[in-house]
Amino acid sequence: MSEKIKTVRGFRDLIGEEARKYRFVVEKIRNILEKNNFEEIILPTVEYTKLFTRSIGDATDIVEKEMFTFQDKGGRDIALRPEGTAGVVRAYIENKLYADGTYKKLYYEGSMFRHERPQKGRYREFHQVGAEVLGTINPLADAEIIKIADDILKTLQIEATIEINSLGCKKCRPKYREALINYLRQHREELCEDCQRRLEKNPLRILDCKVETCKVIAQKAPKITDYLCDECKTHYRQVKEYLKALNVEFVENPYLVRGLDYYSKTVFECVSKELGKTVIAGGRYDYLVEELGGPPTPALGFAAGVERLMLLVKELPPKKPLVFIIPFGGEKEKIEALKIAEKLRQEGIRTELSYREGKLKKQFEYAAKIGADFAVVVGENELQSGKFPLKNLHTREQKILTLEEIIQTLKNLS
RNA sequence: GCGGUGGUAGCUCAGCCGGUAGAGCAGGGGACUGUGGAUCCCCGGGUCGCGGGUUCGAGUCCCGUCCACCGCCCCA
């Protein structure tokens, strides 16, 4: 025997019920987005590495150590996409979607790749459904994007807290950053090792530190919301007003910062209580289009983590009733059973023809085992009389019916 | 990337102080030749994650490695 080949670490198969759950989650989200008049954009899985280093930020963990990168045969630096927004923005610029003066609402779906330590709800290949609105600064868009996230959670019957914050803009964020660093420097010695390192590189992250002593320090730190410029302040206030008008429940979290560099103004996260993890997150990125070479274009969006949502979906809608057709006898009966199975399928009835040979007892055991709801025996007597026993495998009741009557009975159920 | 726990039959797991692998469930067949989940009987099934070391002898001890899970980091 040769060596067993297994999946690559952090990659996995989704089989049967798991695949069904995946489709269920993705379809629900797609429906909501279509209803909001978002158009689908199907993006490449691979982009030039530079796209991600420039958009996500080259000091972030994602770029520093989590990207799957390689060189193609022409020596070009290529990366498996670690997230979707950068690709959407690249496509927006490359295809000049800004040219007609309308704003664009796009959504995508697919695999993302991050070379991290795998855990439950965290894989090296994972899936996101994301939506982006490009070309508007209107806070109505912020509110609607968050409302869509809320709608996804409600539709999937998932309990999560929507946390929001504003990170300010080019005008006000530097002032806040300075104030924050000044404050934190006074407490440098009390900060954990990681945070001491973050102090110069990414001080905002310290606000999000889980270490108890850092939390205490963070709580007394200046809040970004006190430093917002008039424009950002108004924007943030409007977003909150609109959310209230939509009856979207949210909590303000002044310590909410995001791991990607490109965010500005509104950011939000939907945190599952059960998982303690973020399942949907997003925000504004008003400078990204310009930084990637497009015209100045405010934009925003979110990404939903399919695997994490799957962990929280407890029940799937039932499948259509399944009929198990049992040929009983010889070749003649098999051929008739084959034709009957095909006829039922043409009527839209989920049908399985038994490939098993042998006793009826075994056939019925098999039917129950594969989860069939009904069984029909096709034997010599049936073919002579033109009537077949339709057995309900749950109640064990059996009715003798013509094929037409069987079809009607089953169609009425599904 | 760091720390921890674990990997034995399809599944859940037992296996002492090192002595050549076991249970339950599942599967196949029969008791019962045209109607299932009960009962009883029989049967098959394993490179003990992988590689090396110690030993007369390793599932068991040691080292390495892979994988899963938990925590950290980070993130959807």
Taking only the tens place, the pLDDT of each residue in A299-324 is 999 999 999 999 999 888 989 999 99
Pairing of strands A160-166, A264-272: antiparallel
Average pLDDT estimate for A321-332: 91
Q: Report the CATH superfamily, name and number, of domain A322-413.
A: Anticodon-binding domain (3.40.50.800)
pLDDT at A3 over 70: no
By C-alpha distance, which of A284, A238, A292 is closest to A134?
Answer: A284
pLDDT at A289 over 90: yes
pLDDT for A130 = 97
The CA dihedral of A182, A183, A189, A194, to the nearest 10 degrees, is -80
Structure tokens at A177: 């950053």
pLDDT at A1 over 50: no
pLDDT at A407 over 60: yes
Average pLDDT estimate for A249-265: 87
How distant is C1' of B61 from CA of A5, in Å? 30
Residue A409 banded pLDDT, cuts 50, 70, 90? very high
pLDDT at A286 over 60: yes
The per-residue pLDDT for range A105-158, each reduced to its tens digit, is 999 999 999 999 898 889 999 999 999 999 999 999 999 999 999 999 999 999
Q: Closest nucleotide to A202's CA, by C1' atom?
A: B74
CA distance A219 to A288: 30
> At A329, phi and psi to the nearest 5?
135, -130
In this complex, the answer to whether residue A197 has its CB under 7 A from any atom of chain B, a nucleic strand, is: no
Task: From residues 112-151 of A, list those within 7 angstroms of strand B by Cβ.
Answer: 114, 116-123, 126, 128
pLDDT for A162 = 96
C-alpha distances in Å from residue A306, one per residue of A30, A41, A134, A270, A313: 12, 18, 23, 13, 10
Domain edges within chain A: 17-172+228-312, 322-413
Q: Closest nucleotide to A9's CA, by C1' atom?
A: B67
In chain A, the percentage of residues whose pLDDT exceeds 70 is 98
pLDDT for A243 = 97
Average pLDDT estimate for A54-81: 87
pLDDT at A246 over 80: yes
pLDDT for A121 = 86
pLDDT for A165 = 94
How distant is C1' of B22 from CA of A386, in Å? 54
The mean pLDDT of chain A is 91
Nucleotides of B under 7 A from a protein CB: 1-3, 27-30, 32-37, 47, 66-76
| Higher pLDDT pick, A50 / A260 | A50
Task: From residues 200-259 of A, list those within 7 angstroms of strand B by Cβ.
Answer: 205, 208-211, 258-259
Residues 6 or more apart whose CB falls under 8 angstroms from that of A245 comprise A143
CA distance A234 to A67: 37
Q: Closest nucleotide to A121's CA, by C1' atom?
A: B76
How distant is C1' of B17 from CA of A340, in Å? 67
In chain A, the percentage of residues whose pLDDT exceeds 90 is 64
How distant is C1' of B51 from CA of A4, in Å? 15
Average pLDDT estimate for A187-195: 78
Residues 6 or more apart whose CB falls under 8 angstroms from that of A278 comprise A269, A270, A271, A272, A305, A308
Residue A40 banded pLDDT, cuts 50, 70, 90? very high
CATH (residue range A17-172+228-312): 3.30.930.10
Average pLDDT estimate for A175-185: 87
Give strand pairing partners of A309.
none
Burial of A218 (0-12, 13-18, 19+ CB in 10 A): buried
pLDDT at A2 over 60: no
Q: Closest nucleotide to A303's CA, by C1' atom?
A: B76
Lowest-confidence segment of A58-67, A76-85, A360-369 by average pLDDT: A58-67
Average pLDDT estimate for A272-300: 94
Lowest-confidence segment of A110-119, A201-210, A374-383 by average pLDDT: A201-210
pLDDT for A275 = 86
| Higher pLDDT pick, A81 / A186 | A81
Q: Are A183 and A221 in contact (CB under 8 A)?
A: yes
